[in-house]
Chains A and B, each alone.
Chain A
Amino acid sequence: MLLKSGTETASKLSEAALAEHRPVLFRYALLKLRDPEWADDAVQESLLAAWQSTSAFQGKAGLRTWLIGILKHKIADHWRRMEREVVTDTFDLNEMDAKDNQDDDFFLSNGNWHSGPSTWQDPEGALKQQEFWTIYETCQNNLPPKMAQVFMLRELVGLEAEEVCRETGLSDANYWVTMHRARLRLRECLEIRWFNQSKTEKEKCHA
């Protein structure tokens, strides 16, 4: 009897818990596959596979990590079916280029800003303009690839910091440095390419 109720709890837990992770899995697949139908298929297949093998899963803490592991296989299967080379991104993230993780060009040796953040005019308004998103994408693509991957897993897919570390093999300390670096770079890029640009345009209009 104990055993029976235990199994019931397990299957209930997985059904509800699986559904809960669907949005994150979809965003992950979308970033890798760049096609919502393919992404949806991969997520469906993954959830089905997970549901059929709940006994293989141990411990609730790493459920999402486990699901992403399954999803990765489904994505690899997809590329195999498409007869394309499987894109692997298993480079060692702890071996980032030294220059990627130096913030000396942002700060002076005394720790003050080199050329610091200026005040942005109407950032909320920028979100409504199509041209802004083109600039945003350019800035994001300009991040070094490894840094971009960490940033996207956290901010686009929505994984927790510790999940990103597990996923990428990045150490705790390297994670903080990398995310901070990504934000400093994105901030600077957006300022130069969007916020300072629109400021000069506005000044031109008033001239």
Chain B
Amino acid sequence: MRSCRDITALVSQGLDKKLSVGERLAIGLHVMMCSRCRNFQNQSQFIRKAAHGYIEQLQNRLVKKPESD
């Protein structure tokens, strides 16, 4: 059984490349039993979503250029 350190590293890699069936299986089995790694999995996806939202925010903020008040 792989450790949380190894599983989270795989989860991270899975966001940037396609993992093998074995690797995906290892993640799936692990997160079924480990809530911390399950949380990490959800949160790493959330961070990606937030990053995309952030660049949009940045764009809007810069476009608006608030008048000094």
Chain A contact residues, CB within 8 Å of chain B: 27, 30-31, 34-36, 103, 106-107, 110-113, 116-120, 123, 127, 133, 136-137, 140, 151, 154-157, 161, 176, 179-180, 183-184, 186-187, 190-191
Contacts and interface: CB of A to CB of B under 8 A. Distances in A.
B57 to A, nearest CB: 5
Interface of B: 2-6, 8-9, 12-13, 15-17, 35-37, 39-40, 42-44, 46-55, 57-59, 62-63
B49 A36 contact: no
Given A27-B55, A187-B44, A190-B50, 8 more contacts: A34-B62, A107-B5, A111-B5, A136-B54, A155-B47, A156-B51, A156-B55, A176-B9
B12 A110 contact: no
A161 B47 contact: no
21 contacts: A31-B58, A34-B62, A36-B59, A103-B5, A106-B5, A107-B3, A110-B3, A112-B5, A116-B36, A118-B39, A119-B35, A120-B43, A120-B46, A123-B42, A123-B43, A127-B50, A133-B54, A136-B50, A156-B54, A161-B17, A179-B15
